[in-house]
Amino acid sequence: MFTFVLKRLAYTIILLAIVSLTIFFIFDLIPVDPARLVCSKQCTPSLVEANRQRLGLDVSVLEQWWRFIVGLFAGRTFGEEGIAITCAAPALGYSFSRHECVTTIVAEAFPFTLSLALGAFVLWLSVGISLGVLSARKKGKFADRAASVFVLVGTSLPTFITGILVVLFIVLRFNLVNPLELGNWHNPFTEPLGWLQTFFFPCATLALAYAATYTRFTRSNVIETSSEDFIRTARAKGLSEKVILRKHTLRAALAPITTIAGLDFAGLLGGAIITEGIFGLNGLGRLSIKAVTQTYDLPIIVATTLIASAFVLIMNLIVDIAYAYIDPRVRTT
C-alpha cells in the first residue's frame, strides 16, 4: 500500500510538471504580448523591452518555466533593484494588470471557490444518494416517479437558467438575501449565518444538476446490486432487509460513486465559472474568465489553469487510495 501511494505520488508530480510546461508553451503561442499591454500610452520599443525583462518574458519558454518552478519553492523577485517586487514562495507569478503577486490574488479567490464547491458537494451527495436509494426501493411507485421528474428537471435545466431564476425570485423578489450583500465574504467559522446567506443559494444552484445525475446513478446501481447473488446470500442468512440495504447493497452500490464524486469535486475546485458569475462570487472561475477575456493577464491564467489541473490530479490520487480501502480486490492487484 505504501509503495503504491509513493508510486502514484511520483506519477502525479511528473504529470504536473508536464501539464505546467504544456501550459507555458500554449501561452507562448498566443498572439498577445503582455509587455505591450502593460505599456503606457506613450510607449516606445525600449519601454516594451524593459517591461518584457521586468515580467521575465525575455528568455526562452523553457527558461520561463524553470524560473516559475523555482519561484514556486523559493519565491521570486520581478524587476530591477529600484522597482523590484518580491513575491514570497510559493510564487505563482506577478499580475501586471492588478500589480499584485498572483499567489495573493489566488489566495483571496480560493475561499469563495472552496466554499461553493464544498457546499454544493455535500448537498448533491446527500440529496442524490438518498433520493436514488429511495427511488430504487420504491421502484415504479410514486416516490420513484417523483424522483424521476426531479432527475429530468435537474439534468435538463442548465445552471445559467436555474441560477438566474434563483437570483430573480429568491434573492430579488422575496428579498431572502440582501442584494447588496450578494457575493460578500463571511468567515464560516466566525459568521456561519453570513456565510450561509452568501453561499446557500449558489451551492444549491450548482448542486441541482449534479444531484439529479447522482440520483439516477445511485438508483440504477442499487437496483443492479440488489439482484446480485451475494444479496440473495445475505437474505438466506436471515438478515433483515434494513441491514441488507445498509450494509450489503449500499457498500457495493456506492463504491463506483466514490470515483466520479471525487473527480466532480476536483473539477469544481478549479472554479465554477457560471455560478460564480451569476452570484457575483469572486472565486477562481471568475478570476480566470476575467483574465482570459478582459485583461489578458497571462500569469493569472497560467496559475488558475495549473491549480485546476493540480486539483484534478491530486483528487485522482486520493480517489485511487480511497478506492483501495473500499474495494479489497483493488488492493492486491
Partner 1 sequence: MSKFLEVTNLNVTFPTQDGEVRASNEVSYSVDLGETLAIVGESGSGKSVSNLAVMGLHNPTRTKITGSAVLNLANGPVDVISASAETVRRLRGKAMSMIFQDPMSALHPFFTIGDQIAEGWHLYNKGSKKDGIKKATEMLEIVGIPDASSRVHDYPHQFSGGMRQRAMIAMALVNNPSLLIADEPTTALDVTVQSQILKLLKDLQKEFNMAIILITHDLGVVAEVADRICVMYGGRIVENGTVDDIFYRPEHPYTLGLLNSVPRISDGQSHRLRAIPGQPPSLISLPSGCAFQPRCEYSSKVTSGACNSTVPSLSDKGSGHLSRCHLDVADLNNLVKDKA
Interaction site with partner 1 (CB under 8 A): 228-230, 232-240, 248, 251-252, 255, 326-329, 332
Q: List CB contacts of 179: < 8 A, sequence separation 6 or more.
A: 171, 172
CA-based radius of gyration for the chain: 24
Are 77 and 55 spatial neighbours (Cβ–Cβ below 8 Å)? no
**Strand 94-95 versus strand 76-78 pairing type:** unpaired
- Residue 242 CB, shortest distance to partner 1, in Å, is 11
- From 80, 104, 108, 109, select the one nearest 93 (Cα to Cα): 104
Distance between CA atoms of 159 and 208, rounded to whole angstroms? 8
In whole angstroms, the minimum distance from the beta carbon of 153 to partner 1 comes to: 29
Sign of the dihedral defined by the CA atoms of residues 156, 160, 162, 168, in that order: negative
The CA distances from residue 319 to 6, 18, 247, 249, 255, in Å, are 15, 21, 21, 21, 11
Residue with cell 447493497: 249
Minimum CB separation from partner 1 for residue 232, in Å?
A: 6
- How many Å apart are CA 119 and CA 265, to the nearest integer? 10
Would you say 156 or 233 has its CB closer to partner 1? Answer: 233
Least separation in angstroms between CB 257 and partner 1: 14
Instruction: Give the shortest CB-238-to-partner 1 separation in angstroms.
Output: 3
What is the smallest separation between the CB atom of 216 and partner 1, expressed in angstroms?
A: 23
DSSP state of 90: S
- Counting every residue written for the chain, the total comes to 333
CA distance linking residue 127 with residue 310, whole number of Å: 28
Q: Which is nearer to partner 1, 50 or 223 (CB)?
A: 223
Nearest one of 283, 285, 287 to 295, comparing CA atoms: 287
Cβ at position 105, least distance to partner 1 in Å: 45
| DSSP 8-state code for residue 42 | S
Q: Smallest gap, in angstroms, from Cβ of residue 221 to partner 1?
A: 14
DSSP string for residues in 217-235: HHHHHHHHHHTSHHHHHHH
